[in-house]
Structure 1
Amino acid sequence: MYLFRGAPQNLRETAWKEESIMIQESIYTSRNENLLHLNHTPAGLLGIGRRTLRTLTVLVAFLAAISGQSIGQTTTGSVYGTVTDQTDAVIPNAAITITSVQTGITQTSSSNDSGNYLFPALPTGDYTVAVQSPGFGSQTQKATHLDANQNINVSFKLRPGNTSQTITVDSAGALVETRDSQLTTTVDQKRIEDLPLNGRAAYSLVQLVPGVTTYSAQSVVGDFNGTKFSVNGNRTNEDSYYLDGAFNTALFNQGGLLVPNPDALQEFRLLTSDFDAEYGRFPGAVVNAITRSGTNEFHGSVYDYFRNSALNLKNYFNLIVTPLKQNQFGGTFGGPIIHKKAFIFGSYEGLQIRTPTIIAPSSVSLPTPAQAKGDFSALPASKWPKMANGAPYSCNGVQGVICPALLDPVAQGLLKYVPLADPVTGLSPQQEASANTSANQYLIRVDVQPTSSHLLSGTFFRSTGLINNPGQSSNQILDYSVGGQHDSQSNVVLSDVWTISANKLNTIRPFYTLSHAYISQELPAVTWDQLGSTVGYGALPFSSPVIAITGYFQMGLAAPGNDNAYQQTIGIEDTFNWNIGNHAIKLGGSFFWNIMREQGSYLSGGLVTFNGYQTTNALADFLLGNALSLRQNNGIFHTLHNPDPALFVQDNWRATHKLTLDLGLRWEAFYGFSGQNNFGTFMPNVQSTRFPNAPLGLLTAGDPGIPDGIINTQYKNFAPRVGFGYDVFGDGKTAVRGAYGIFYADRAAGQITNTEQQPFILDNTISHTPNLIAPYAPGTDPFPYQGMYGPSVNPNPAVFFPGATLSGVKPGAGFPYVHQYNLTIERQLSTDWSLRVAYVGSLSRKFFISRDQNAPIYTPGASTSTAGLNARRPYQPTPNSYVFGSIVQNADAGNATYNALQTTLTKRLTHGFSFLASYVYAKSLDISSIDPANITLTLSDQNNLSRDRAPSDYDIPHVFVASYIWETPKVNSLGVFGRYVLSDWQVNGITTLRKGTPFTVTSGVDSNLDGISTDRPNEVGNPFRGGLNRAQKIQGFFNTAAFAQVPAGTPYGNTARNSLFGPGLVNTDFSGFKNFPAWRESTVQFRAEVFNLFNNVNLSNPNGTLTSPLFGKISGSATARQIQFALKVSF
């Protein structure tokens, strides 16, 4: 899905109406009119037929009967141990009772013949464990804290005596994991609540986890595409996200959907490498956010976080501080419904942001009044626009000037919306436009223990928000296009943990997840006909033309128009735990039903790109109307669904007292998407039987061997997992762990929806337009083009337009998979400190990349016009009157490697101090880092992928992150002054140091004559410059003289992809609290949070386009210092 931010305020009511329609009804667009039609049947609601519905019912019933569960749903941890006497002889049938400190709920078990016991599925929290056995004294272990997916060893050595004789042991528990081979990191409630979080986005704390890079900030309003980050070299769309164990991942682009505010979260836990067989679907991290539950006492809080631009410093490149007024306010409340039986917890948070979008003068290059009229004579001679013979343009004897008669009138009309640079200094003016935001979120969680053998839980989470943001890129013309987006999300999660017997337990979890985005654009600022152009619109003419001028500015939003989309998952998961001797067996499966719909106008107005191919100056190309390309389509319409089953078995085998083996096997069936039946692909020399008049090679769903989702269902995806944990000295303080596993990667729905093609969807691209008055000349403008929407998917007659860009997934493509492996040494250094050193590696295979199957064959001196490009393409159909353009294939041809040393130093919270730090030294290599749902062609050579094997976009070799919490000791010796003034202070912080991210130097010229401007120049010198101060870095971060255009007749330069690294990052976020005792157990807390405490100027990557006037220069930086105050009352 392609979304943009921003909506006028008058869309609020419309957005809410559309929200209710999208949740309750299935929609389609009539062939002849743009109206919403409603289908009220249950099958219509779910997007499934009756036969499939019956099949779904049977499968769900089957899962409920046999047990099963899948991917990362676990919200619980386990407590295990061995009961022995003083001679180390095992004690069978000892009675063990575990009690939750927060709720008082108890569970019982007994030791087996090997003396072992296991509580496999305990909610997170604090527990006491007690053991009794005839002839021995009782023992109780206190102060044991349990996190999700954590295994804690609580073993007992009983002394002879009466059971009335009780020994109480107060211990914080071991810091070293000796049993589990998977790499995990827990971010506990203390860190979630107390560490400084910009925007109060809990997902931002994933940056504390070693191996995580390129985090994209979580929207606090809701994000249809989801939060994304790369972990251990995996792509950013390869992580699994869960809320209270239920799937919370975006289907279109596989990001993490919204989670509740920090005050509503108990913790979240990341599994980052070689996780057990119960997890799958994606090879990246498993991120599991767990909400808080009520306790036996009533507690709550109210708060307001306040930010104002008066407290902030201006961005280094802005003229002023961006105006801002922001309030995040809300509260929590929880307590017992029935003492020790039923509990409730609720949370609300609201958000109001009042701020503009500001386009800094340094991030955009606008024409001066003279340049807008074609006069470039004030520029250096090397920057003058050049004619085809290489000579500069001249007018009336003045070089560097394009005569007015040559200027395109449509371009001149568009320039009326562009603010001009100062005629003397050449500086661009600063632009501003409103970017207000409002949001609300609600959470209710209920936990009930109706009997001693059942623990029931239910969670409901709801978020709504409206974002106004006219600027989508840093070089946007803000006065040209406005619009807005309304996001909403709903999650319902139910669970039942059933203790069948002392060694058998079953957990079942049904859930429902819905994410909806409604986008609307006001009437276009300008239309083609108003400009005097003959360009026709697509079927849904509600988007302005988009103009992109490389190195200068962009007019319009890259994903404009109206858009209405939702994605939902209905699922059931089940896990069965069985403790047999030294084996802790877990087996289960899951069944998800995924549904996606989207309707939008998209690029019906066209995307026109200028890059200097004609004159070597992109702005001059625009003035002449000579575009590199014009891409246009007739909108988008998707309605998809697919089943998603999985099964697994896992055995945690305690082979010896010191050695534990993890043995697992996972099975996943990846079904293709069904529903709309209008997707396509390309197979050379194969004729469509569904549409016999289709060009040779163009196939659609319904042709023999081409299913709805193009890719056939694959049933043989077996993923073994093996690992070990070795307690070196048997004291639980030193462990060596290792693991290996295979992990498959499911594909995003967006990867399939982008393969819509003729005769249903026309997505047409032409190269090298003669002008903007009639850019399709001498060819025929194929628009307007209605295409086929709604339930009818068999057009008669089927129409195929020549020259259209085709796209499709490679038929018979496999599913990507990753070999993961790690070796870890972990040591408890003292009572509170531990150190972990790990080698983490992976090999990724068959990952999808976008390549042009029909790339033009390089011929020196060949024309790069549309006709010239098509004449050199290898595939051309019969009849000859039809011409193929680009054929973008999503091919399973990508691979990647990752190797890293990851170290973590931890001090748990004692004496008021906690510390967590990690350092990672890593190398990540791949061919392409682009999300496969994005079909943009970025390969430099479509037929030689090895040219692009280089550091990944998210390759950051050195990363250090530290977080710390310090509570000052109480001062009781100075009376009131000591108790109320000097006591109850707290300081917290996060410090990050890392190397910069890689970037590629491009030529801005189509040297290989394939119509794509991602070519790279020659590196003719040393590009590195050392010892630069900040001003020097901004003016020339690297040696621009080290790069030159390739000579004529040379298709490829020797510059490698991602060969340079940008500026590094140094940042400290800080928070300070003062707690004031109030009545009884209530406190009033004043908080001050400072983001970028030392106001470090963290520069962005420089401009890497050789033909840009900003080549080598830096025009942006990260946010300057921001301050936030808060008042919080807890009771």
Structure 2
Amino acid sequence: MFRQTLLLLCSPICVALLCFNAFAQATAGSQVSGTIQDGTNNVIAGAQITITQTDTGLARTAVSNAEGGYTLPNLPVGPYQLKVTKDGFKSFVQAGIVLQVNSNPEINVTLDVGAVTETVSVTAGVAGVETVSNGVGQVIDQQRVVELPLNGRVATELIFLSGLATSAPAADLNTNKNFPTVTISVAGGLANGMTYVMDGGTHNDPFNNLNLPMPFPDALQEFKVETSALPARYGHHAASAVNVVTKTGGNQYHGDAFWFVRNYAFNARNFFATSRDSLKRNQFGGVLGGPIKTNKLFFFGGYQGKIEKSNPPTTIAFAPTAAMRAGDFTAFASAACNGGTARTLGGPFVGNKLDATRISAPALKFLQFVPTPTDQCGRLQYGIVANNNEHQSIGKIDYTFNEKHSLYGRYFFADYASPNAFDGKNVLAMSRVGQFNRAHSFVLGDTFLLNPNTIFSTHATLNRTRNNRKVDEYFSPADLGIAVFSPQKGFTGVTVTGNGFAIGAGATNPGYFNSTNYQIAEDVDLIRGSHQFAVGVNFIHNNINTTNNRPTNGQFTFNGQITGLPLADFMAGILSGGFLQGNPVFDNQRQNYIGAYFQDSWKASSRLTINAGVRWEPFLPMEHPFGWVSHFEPAAFAAGTKSSVYKNAPAGLIFPGDAGYPGKATTFSKKAQFAPRLGLVWDPQGSGKMTVRASYGIFYDTPHLFFNTRFANNPPWGAQITLANPAGGFANPYQTYPGGNPFPGLAKISTDSFFPQAGVYVNTPLHIKPTYLQQWNLSVQRQVGEWLFAGSYLGNSSIHLWTGRELNPAVFGTGATLANTNARRVLSLQNATQGAFYGTIGQIDDGGTASYNGMLLSAQRRLSGNFSVLANWTLSHCISDPATTEITGPTYVNPNNRRADRANCDSDRRHVVNLSFVARPPKFSNKALGMLVTGWQLSGIVRRQSGNRSTVVTGVDNALTGVGGQRATQILADPYAATKTVDTYLNRAAFGSPAAGTLSALSPFSILNPSTLQIDAGLSRTFNVREGQTVQFRWETFNVPNRLNANAPVVALNNANFGRILTAQDPRIMQFALKYVF
């Protein structure tokens, strides 16, 4: 792969770029362009244009061309002054210009006849109308970043204010394997389909493609969210781009010190809690920036600390009562404990009682560490400690060599720690794992001008993360008397679904997840007459090194499919939900990314700009340095073909070293991937205050490294085994397994490695087609005074969306049971001897598609005078085949019908309305009144959105196919309760379970969850201490009206709380702050 990458890098375009001795950054810059003319509207060629950043003295020059036009690209954000001179005309100076990230304002200048020594001075901002780019975007400026109420001071939350953005289900993307963040879908895109750039360098975590931690608000200058048919300069991920700029020092010393406080005494009680939370949070720190050498060398630095403590909040689980521990489930199976419907338990239960000799010994030993509920329904309340500390620091240096050459470097550090502890009494408190995260980000850049019309830009980036999961030791399966190999000391994974409990399941186990990526990129801007050409290349190397101990001691699951209630299966020791065990998962993946582009922005006339370009993005698959990847080929299995590398491998498997395998990669590469872009910008009035824009583009998406992590589970190195309802039950899952317990022998990896029966595999087609999006938009912008109005239509179509199918499902027939699932699988029926080695095989299916259509209407007024406003309304609809974020197994339920799962996207919200504002009182001539109101400020965020969607599932394998996620059958036309309340949101009578061996025709995501309304407000008063120094007191309230914003209802039919809503978003919360600014 390394040799292949070198060959690609040495393509002619790269050679041309690397011939120049340039080292610069352009991605986060701005651009100013316009036309110079005289009072009779004749264009003026040869005018000298100089733009100067007033904070740092950085100056750039240009000369107007024959058409009077000029362009000043790649300007750092910030305040500027523009000066235009030409012999025979008065000099023109415009102050008050503020350039924002990736903005392209047009400033047309009219020169008056006169002496050049005379000056016409104006102070005016620039129009917010986009006159160059075709993307749909929104800048979240520094004022909003700092002044808006922000719970937790997590700046990523402000992305939602841009419009088109909705929260997206995290699945396994955003857990304790990464630095805490939020998952966002923009314009129907995948939650990890966003390109994050900070100070010109990549800021995506290669582990999951989400963002690395963002700096605290006081360290941020601003950021911009853009989507839909962006220029060819953009790539790597398809859904959108978030471009972040941190603050920079200037010729004046500036900074602040702050202290934000949250205390439970000022909060309301959550609707579902018995008391208020006990959280105490302190966030403190400050920033400082200024000159080291005036107009030459500047510094900026900052720090924020967070200390968060609370008494354990109330957690609810269900555990066996004293009667249940003695085998008596009479009360627990009654109507009072099961949503009004009494249960008659099956299996070994007689009259809802279990003979003492049938009670599981490991279950009883396990329950020695679980308090006995006094509630007859087993309801148990307890607390889980969730204290955490976080520290962030940032440093930045900017140096200007001369008017042609400037350099900068930025380092950002973030550390998060949230330990857990076992008190020796209640093991259920271990359902939360300790989390320890650390992130480093370094960017180095420089801008070099060969001449005013030829600019080179390069940036180099290094990001590194360390994400550790740690569990306080409690007990292992061996300690419970279970006959399994238990190499992980003090850890057990038990899940009782429905009204039950879970520990050690999912991501609550020891693990280490570390990632590194480095980037080198170069962009060249060439202004030639009416054309602005851009050419560039971007290279990123990603790697992850992870250790996951989830399967090492085994995972024991009880789902109630045998007796009718999960806790009854648990007490009887019936592993109805199955048993899984495997070696520790060591995942070490490497991947290179290359993108190269050429684009031209052609000013075809004074009113029409045509943007055209193409981006080359070859698909370079992930590789494992040890070659721990494999491929299953059905044709090879049918022919009985075996691997020449691993002697004991069953038929159908090939590995690195076998004929036809693509090196150490998961699939073959695809180099001929070209993404064209085309757009038009029309200024109907020629004033730069109104534009009509339209564009189309193709965008490829690069998968994250964690996508293929389950390859490390494949035998022989992972050697995971799944047993459906094993005969030996909880006490001895391997009782009837051929040859007995295969561990720890499976841990030894060699060409003679042993391959277990019922092995768990994931699989990727050797010639998989990469996902790409077609995007198009039509938008209109109009500046009216200080207001900017915009309306946009956006559409996109996802092609070759990766989803997952079960390649080896069980076939239903006479005598089908959970216990004989593996014997009924397709491969076992095809070849009983070789098929017995295969359990589930989750294969990527690249045939999925999705579509999105949306409308965005917005109005914006920047802070001028007394207030600023940003308001937008998104009306959209997203439809998709089921998408997967990693190869974990099947994504759609019917292995032979992907379209049966096509439905609303999991992030689909039809209506989203955002309003944010900052308002200050006007100045009064009356001195007393002025003293009373001066310094006050009111800010707020209002967000109203439709509900997201849920899927009603049975919670069990009715079809007996070995595929999970099976949906219920809808019996009544209306699935909702006659009167929707938190206790009866769904009508239980509207749903039933499909007949054995069948699947429901109900679509996924058919349930519309409750809508939400969030109103946050901040009130502050600023006092002048002395000239240039102020002190601010701030009072912020989140969810001002204390509205119940209910979460989704319980949607599993085998859960006694089906149809009820049990959780809600935060109640009214208050936060106070003190801030010193200078």
TM range, normalised to the smaller chain?
Answer: over 0.9
Amino acid at match of 1:747: P
Within 5 A, what are the aligned runs for 1:104-183?
104-183=57-136
Within 5 A, what are the aligned runs for 1:965-1114?
965-975=918-928, 978-1025=929-976, 1028=979, 1033-1048=981-996, 1051-1114=998-1061
Is the CA contact 1:546–1:558 (under 8 Å) kept in the aligned structure 2? Answer: no
- Structure 1 residue 768 corresponds to structure 2 residue 716: no
- C-alpha change, 1:1089 and 1:755, in structure 2 (3 Å) is same
- C-alpha change, 1:885 and 1:220, in structure 2 (3 Å) is closer
CA shift, 1:278, in A, is 0.9
Residue equivalent to 1:785: 744
Residue equivalent to 1:295: 250
Amino acid at match of 1:200: R
| Mapped partners of 1:604, 1:677: distance in 2 | 22
Is the CA contact 2:877–2:910 (under 8 Å) kept in the aligned structure 1? Answer: yes
Secondary structure of the corresponding residue to residue 717 of structure 2: coil
- C-alpha change, 1:553 and 1:470, in structure 2 (3 Å) is farther
Amino acid at match of 1:510: A
- C-alpha change, 1:494 and 1:63, in structure 2 (3 Å) is farther
Q: Deviations along 1:356-407, whole A, 9 cap, x unmatched?
A: 443443xx3344332343323235667999xxxx9745999x7222222222
| Mapped partners of 1:988, 1:216: distance in 2 | 29
Residue equivalent to 1:233: 188
- C-alpha change, 1:934 and 1:63, in structure 2 (3 Å) is farther
Within 5 A, what are the aligned runs for 1:128-277?
128-214=81-167, 223-224=178-179, 227-277=182-232
Amino acid at match of 1:562: P
Within 5 A, what are the aligned runs for 1:895-914?
895-914=849-868
Residue equivalent to 1:13: none
- C-alpha change, 1:751 and 1:1074, in structure 2 (3 Å) is same
Secondary structure of the corresponding residue to residue 380 of structure 2: coil
Secondary structure of the corresponding residue to residue 709 of structure 1: coil
- The TM-score with structure 2 as length reference comes to 0.93
| Mapped partners of 2:724, 2:850: distance in 1 | 33
Residue equivalent to 1:959: 912
Is the CA contact 2:168–2:906 (under 8 Å) kept in the aligned structure 1? Answer: no
- Which ranges of structure 2 fall in alignment gaps of 5 or more residues? 637-641
Secondary structure of the corresponding residue to residue 981 of structure 2: helix
| Mapped partners of 2:346, 2:1072: distance in 1 | 58
Residue equivalent to 1:747: 703
CA shift, 1:589, in A, is 0.5
- C-alpha change, 1:549 and 1:452, in structure 2 (3 Å) is same
Is the CA contact 1:562–1:602 (under 8 Å) kept in the aligned structure 2? Answer: yes
Residue equivalent to 2:373: 421
Amino acid at match of 1:995: S
| Mapped partners of 1:220, 1:888: distance in 2 | 22
CA shift, 1:706, in A, is 2.3
| Mapped partners of 1:730, 1:420: distance in 2 | 77
| Mapped partners of 1:541, 1:922: distance in 2 | 51
Indicate which of 649, 657, 661 corresponds to 1:702.
Answer: 657
Residue equivalent to 1:595: 543
CA shift, 1:630, in A, is 1.1
Residue equivalent to 2:838: 884
Within 5 A, what are the aligned runs for 1:655-734?
655-674=604-623, 675-686=625-636, 687-707=642-662, 708-734=664-690
Residue equivalent to 2:475: 526
- Which ranges of structure 1 fall in alignment gaps of 5 or more residues? 1-47
- Structure 1 residue 442 corresponds to structure 2 residue 393: yes
Residue equivalent to 1:349: 304
- Structure 1 residue 638 corresponds to structure 2 residue 594: no
- Structure 1 residue 504 corresponds to structure 2 residue 454: yes
| Mapped partners of 2:401, 2:7: distance in 1 | 32
Indicate which of 611, 621, 637 corresponds to 2:559.
Answer: 611
Is the CA contact 2:320–2:378 (under 8 Å) kept in the aligned structure 1? Answer: no
Is the CA contact 1:143–1:170 (under 8 Å) kept in the aligned structure 2? Answer: yes
| Mapped partners of 2:459, 2:877: distance in 1 | 39
Secondary structure of the corresponding residue to residue 105 of structure 2: strand
Amino acid at match of 1:1011: G
- C-alpha change, 1:225 and 1:199, in structure 2 (3 Å) is closer
| Mapped partners of 2:86, 2:391: distance in 1 | 53
Paired residues, number: 1058
Is the CA contact 2:333–2:352 (under 8 Å) kept in the aligned structure 1? Answer: no
Is the CA contact 1:633–1:763 (under 8 Å) kept in the aligned structure 2? Answer: yes
Q: Deviations along 1:688-730, whole A, 9 cap, x unmatched?
A: 2322431111122332232312121221110001111111222
Secondary structure of the corresponding residue to residue 741 of structure 1: strand
- C-alpha change, 1:513 and 1:909, in structure 2 (3 Å) is same
CA shift, 1:870, in A, is 3.8
| Mapped partners of 2:233, 2:887: distance in 1 | 30
| Mapped partners of 2:930, 2:814: distance in 1 | 83
Residue equivalent to 1:758: 715
- C-alpha change, 1:865 and 1:70, in structure 2 (3 Å) is farther
Is the CA contact 2:175–2:507 (under 8 Å) kept in the aligned structure 1? Answer: no
Indicate which of 26, 34, 52 corresponds to 1:99.
Answer: 52
Residue equivalent to 2:321: 368
Secondary structure of the corresponding residue to residue 702 of structure 2: coil
| Mapped partners of 2:792, 2:1022: distance in 1 | 39
Residue equivalent to 2:790: 836
Is the CA contact 2:475–2:491 (under 8 Å) kept in the aligned structure 1? Answer: no
Is the CA contact 1:249–1:255 (under 8 Å) kept in the aligned structure 2? Answer: yes
Secondary structure of the corresponding residue to residue 755 of structure 1: helix
Amino acid at match of 2:673: N
Secondary structure of the corresponding residue to residue 1053 of structure 1: coil
- C-alpha change, 1:290 and 1:1089, in structure 2 (3 Å) is same
CA shift, 1:1007, in A, is 1.9
Secondary structure of the corresponding residue to residue 156 of structure 2: helix
CA shift, 1:1025, in A, is 3.9
Residue equivalent to 1:17: none
CA shift, 1:676, in A, is 2.3
| Mapped partners of 2:287, 2:708: distance in 1 | 42
Secondary structure of the corresponding residue to residue 855 of structure 2: strand
Indicate which of 275, 278, 295 corresponds to 1:320.
Answer: 275
| Mapped partners of 1:210, 1:315: distance in 2 | 28
Residue equivalent to 1:3: none
Is the CA contact 1:108–1:502 (under 8 Å) kept in the aligned structure 2? Answer: yes
- C-alpha change, 1:1069 and 1:589, in structure 2 (3 Å) is same
Secondary structure of the corresponding residue to residue 1100 of structure 1: coil
CA shift, 1:962, in A, is 0.8
Residue equivalent to 1:304: 259
Secondary structure of the corresponding residue to residue 213 of structure 2: coil
- C-alpha change, 1:964 and 1:1002, in structure 2 (3 Å) is same
| Mapped partners of 1:60, 1:503: distance in 2 | 20
Is the CA contact 2:949–2:1009 (under 8 Å) kept in the aligned structure 1? Answer: yes
CA shift, 1:212, in A, is 0.7
Is the CA contact 2:174–2:183 (under 8 Å) kept in the aligned structure 1? Answer: no
Secondary structure of the corresponding residue to residue 619 of structure 1: helix
Secondary structure of the corresponding residue to residue 751 of structure 1: helix
| Mapped partners of 1:343, 1:71: distance in 2 | 17
CA shift, 1:145, in A, is 1.3
CA shift, 1:422, in A, is 2.7
Amino acid at match of 1:728: P
Secondary structure of the corresponding residue to residue 434 of structure 1: coil
Q: Deviations along 1:290-315, whole A, 9 cap, x unmatched?
A: 10001111111111111111111121
CA shift, 1:1082, in A, is 0.4
Is the CA contact 1:268–1:288 (under 8 Å) kept in the aligned structure 2? Answer: yes
Secondary structure of the corresponding residue to residue 918 of structure 1: strand
